[in-house]
Amino acid sequence: RKKKQRKKKQRKKKQRKKKQRKKKQRKKKQWSTRPAKMSRTEIPESTQNTQAEDAGKAPGTNIGGSSGEGKLVL
């Protein structure tokens, strides 16, 4: 019986790790696709200007207020 419980615990742990890994990949994907497009269209002026614009845009594009990720990209 104890062995069964331990197995169950391990399985749960595995599922949790899998979930986290998927989450990370999703985040990566989201950021690898979007800002590239944005920056490519907005770079040709002064860089300071585009950064300000991007900073204003990032929270609106993905509702969830992930400003940390926005900063990471710029």
- What's residue 25's pLDDT? 82
The pLDDT of residue 36 = 55
Q: 3-state SS of 22-33?
A: HHHHHHHHHHHH
Q: Is residue 53 situated within a structural domain?
A: no
Tell me which DSSP letter residue 43 carries.
T
Per-residue pLDDT of the chain (74 residues; tens, 9 = 90+): 899 999 999 999 999 999 999 988 877 766 555 555 555 555 555 444 444 445 555 554 544 444 555 444 44
What's the domain range around 4? 1-30
pTM of the model: 0.34
How many structural domains comprise the chain?
1
Is 4 contained in some domain? yes
Quote the CA–CA distance of 62 and 28 in Å, as a whole number. 14
Cβ(35)–Cβ(54) under 8 Å?
yes
